[in-house]
Amino acid sequence: MSLTRTTCPYCGVGCGVLAGADGTIKGDPDHPANFGRLCSKGSALGETIDLDGRLLHPQIGGQRATWDSALDQVATKFSDAIRDHGPDSVAFYVSGQLLTEDYYVANKLMKGFIGSANIDTNSRLCMASSVAGHKRAFGTDTVPGTYADLEEADLIVLVGSNLAWCHPVLYQRIVAAKQARPNMRVVNIDPRRTATCDLADLHLRVAPDGDVALFNGLLTYLADHGQLDMAYVTAHVGGCEATLAAARASDPLQSGAAPEDITQFFALWAGTKKVMTVYSQGVNQSQCGTDKVNAILNCHLATGRIGKPGCGPFSVTGQPNAMGGREVGGLSNMLANHLDIENADHRDTVQTFWNSPTICTQAGFKAVDLFDACAAGKIKALWVMSTNPAVSMPNAENVAQAIKNVPFVAVSDIMARTDTGDLADVLLPATGWGEKDGTVTNSERRISRQRAFLSAPAEARPDWRIISDVAARMGFADAFAYDSPADIFAEYIVLDAATRPFARDLDLSIFADADYAKLVPTQWPRNDVRFFADGRFYHADGKARMLPVQAPVAQQTGLTLNTGRNRDQWHTMTRTGKSPKLGAHLAEPYLEIHPVDAAEIGIAHGDLVEVHNVQGRNILRALVTDRVASGQLFAPMHWTRQTARGATVNALVAPVTDPFSGQPALKRGDVSVQPFKAE
Ligand code: SF4
């Protein structure tokens, strides 16, 4: 059996996989993300490639239809809505599961040919706060670090990141590095005592959203102990004085961490040159997520701990291609190649390159606002691609109702039945992992190929082709006459060249002469480039910015629900749910609750409990554990209306968002819990 070199479709680590049509799965020993390692999810990929439950034919109104009739209907409904209500009356909601070529074509159609920026992505739920924080600090959305930097660090600070479960191979690399270098230290900052604590020398159990107070406190400590690198700040960083003044207004005890742990953490940070601070959803998914990111970046900038080996802030992305989506403008507030919608020169350059009839002139709806617009009747035609917002969005019951409120809904998916697909007027069968070709970018800016090793089942087609076929029917055939993802990738690389000098950090010239078929995993701008090594950033004056940020006022009143992920499931389980091996890890929806709270409510370990608030109601199995602090709860978000008792966990989260990034605060739902009584 010959094996195909491809990339895992789950998390943002982006591991290389050797895969065979018989279900053989091996880690790719030559891929620089994993060097042959795979986690439980990646290892079980062979159990998820059968056709059980697959959407194999187009459907209109629940009935099998031809591709021509389905594509005609999507094109007609979108064209009619644009004619009658304008370009902003239509929207795409896409996914970090899409390959970069799919993302590029969807973005081009919406922004350059429809003329709206109403294309947002479930990556808004994943890392939008990091994007906003990077842009505020660096002038661009640049992730400066690499996985190798983590192995070289003397102190790794993990913030809001259960790396052991959510980025397991990266976690394994840190475990191996720590074994090889016993002086390496790991600090884990998290309200929960997660599996990642097994690796940590110190766990700071902060309160929800306690991170800003903690990192403001760290900045103050560094200043008071003569640890700021003022020569570096003077040469390369603006805003230090005002930022320090704002930091001094915070009390690190507001973070909720124990005083002795705070003191130990500050001393460790101050006394270690090579510090990497790694953060993910616990930082990003917050109403102050962007401020949290900047509070972390402030400490690195103030001490010059950036742009050096083993040093710097590092945002890990949740999805396999969240980073690729950022690069091609998959967010509603960005153009392709990290360009800005608000900048007329950027818009003109992209429009000229696309030779498009129009170009969006203002940012579109971000995810939460997009579904609010659906509920308000502003969106007349919606196309959801490769994601399940009726489960994964906050306030998910209302999102399902909002989708029902849209006069025309198309859904492209690999599965016949999803909570969102059930609401569609037209279902479009997409090819899945192993059946499609394209590229993805992982958390360290490394572009890798996904390659097909299976035939497309029945009538399923790749997303780029479905989008291009609709575009052709809307009158844009010439601009979307692609024969392959290689064509699209080549156009994207030429666009990158055409957008210089506006594209500041994103430089894909290394791919200009690449053989797409043989493309090897490569970082942009080059494998050997270290961002910010010369102290030059991307604001107009060449400096970075420290940002004054204020700790939010503590507001916990009752029980706070933290939502997250299990080790062995991915998103809404459309693929990992097929694997008996993965399902055996944690087999049903559960709620972690502290023993004191459980006793107060009258709940025993293993009881069914009802979790509810104004947004919704869930029935979950109680796991009574001090992994969560008293007053806090945890529940995984994977189960759906179709697989769980009652509604979905994210239905319990209010649609509160960060004001800069629009990222929802999925880590904080105010809920009540009571014993479940069958009616
Ligand atoms: Fe896939 Fe992430 Fe596991 Fe690697 S760590 S095998 S990319 S799920």
For residue 170, the ligand 1 atom closest to its alpha carbon is: 5
C-alpha 190 – ligand 1 centre gap (Å): 22
Distance (angstroms) between ligand 1 centre and the Cα of 369 equals: 31
Nearest CA among 25, 11, 5 for reference residue 579: 25
Q: Write the residue with the smallest CA distance to atom 6 of ligand 1.
A: 42
Among 105-114, 317-326, 435-444, the least confident range: 317-326
Helix, strand, coil percentages for the chain (3-state, nearest 5): 35, 15, 45
Report which ligand 1 atom has the smallest distance to the Cα of 40.
Answer: 3
Nearest atom (ligand 1) to Cα of 169:
5
| Residue 571 confidence class, pLDDT cut points 50, 70, 90 | confident
Atom of ligand 1 nearest to the CA of 11: 2
User: Rounded to the nearest whole angstrom, what is the distance from the C-alpha of residue 15 to the centroid of ligand 1?
Assistant: 6
Mutate to test the pocket of ligand 1, among 97, 167, 567, 576 (most ligand atoms within 8 A of CB): 167
**Mutation probe of ligand 1 site: the residue of 6, 7, 15, 433 with most atoms within 8 A of C-beta:** 15
Q: Which of 6, 11, 175 to mutate to test the pocket of ligand 1 (most atoms within 8 A of CB)?
A: 11
Q: Mind listing the pLDDT tens digit for each residue in 221-243? A: 999 999 999 999 999 999 999 99
Distance 10 CA to ligand 1 centre (A): 6
Q: How far is the CA of 579 from the centre of ligand 1 (A)?
A: 15
Rg from Cα positions in the chain: 24
* DSSP assignment string, 63-128: EE--HHHHHHHHHHHHHHHHHHH-GGGEEEEE-TTS-HHHHHHHHIIIIIII----EEEGGGGTTH
Helix (H) or strand (E) segment spanning residue 289: helix 289-302
Q: What is the pLDDT of residues 599-644, one digit of tens each?
A: 999 999 999 999 999 988 899 999 999 999 999 999 998 887 766 6
At 640 the pLDDT is 77
CB 14 less than 6 A from any atom of ligand 1: yes
Q: How far is the CA of 386 from the centre of ligand 1 (A)?
A: 19
Q: Tell how far the Cα of 38 is from the centroid of ligand 1, in angstroms.
A: 6
Is residue 570 scored above 90 in pLDDT? no
Does the beta carbon of 13 sit less than 6 angstroms from any atom of ligand 1? yes
SS3 for 264-291 is HHHHHHHCCCCEEEEECHHHHCCCCHHH
User: Which of 6, 28, 31, 34 best tests ligand 1's pocket when mutated (most atoms within 8 Å of CB)?
Assistant: 34
pLDDT for the residue numbered 572:
81
Give the position of tokens 């990992």.
Answer: 576
Ligand 1 pocket member 42 (CB < 6 A): yes
Residue owning tokens 């660096």: 138
Ligand 1 site, residue 364, Cβ cutoff 6 A: no
* Alpha-carbon gap, residue 162 to 174, rounded angstroms: 13
Provide the β-strand partners of residue 562. 634
The protein residue with its alpha carbon nearest to ligand 1, atom 2, reads 11
Torsion angles phi and psi, residue 646, rounded to 5: 80, -150
pLDDT interval class at 556 (50, 70, 90): low
Answer whether 574's CB lies under 8 Å from 642's CB.
Answer: no
Model confidence over 378-405: pLDDT tens digits? 999 999 999 999 988 999 999 999 999 9
What is the atom index within ligand 1 of the atom nearest the CA of 43?
6
Q: Three-state SS across 195-208?
A: HHHHHCCEEECCCC
Q: List domains and CATH numbers for the chain.
A: 4-48 (2.20.25.90), 59-123+321-523 (3.40.50.740), 128-316 (3.40.228.10), 559-675 (2.40.40.20)
Q: What is the pLDDT of residue 185?
A: 98
Residue 318 CB–ligand 1 contact under 6 Å? no
Strands 559-564 and 590-593: unpaired
pLDDT surpassing 80 at residue 1 = no
Lowest mean pLDDT among 93-107, 327-341, 480-494, 568-582: 568-582
38 lines ligand 1 (CB under 6 A): yes
The contacts of residue 470 (CB under 8 Å, 6+ apart) are 71, 74, 75, 78, 109
Nearest CA to ligand 1 atom 4: 15
169 lines ligand 1 (CB under 6 A): yes
Amino acid at 480: F
> Counting atoms of ligand 1 from 1, which one is nearest the CA of 38?
6
Report pLDDT digits (tens) over 474-510. 999 999 999 999 999 999 999 999 998 787 888 999 9
Half-sphere CA count of 496, side-chain side, radius 13 A: 22
Position 586 scores a pLDDT of: 87
Q: How far is CA 614 from the centre of its chain?
A: 27
- Ligand 1 centre to CA of 6 (Å) is 12
Q: How far is the CA of 315 from the centre of ligand 1 (A)?
A: 16
pLDDT score of 498: 93
Joined tokens for residue 193: 């005592």
Q: What is the dihedral of CA 376, 382, 385, 388, to 10 degrees?
A: 30
Cα–ligand 1 centroid distance for 568 (angstroms): 10
Q: Is 15 in the pocket of ligand 1 (CB under 6 A)?
A: yes
Question: Percent of the chain having pLDDT more than 90?
Answer: 87
pTM: predicted TM-score of the whole model, two decimal places: 0.96
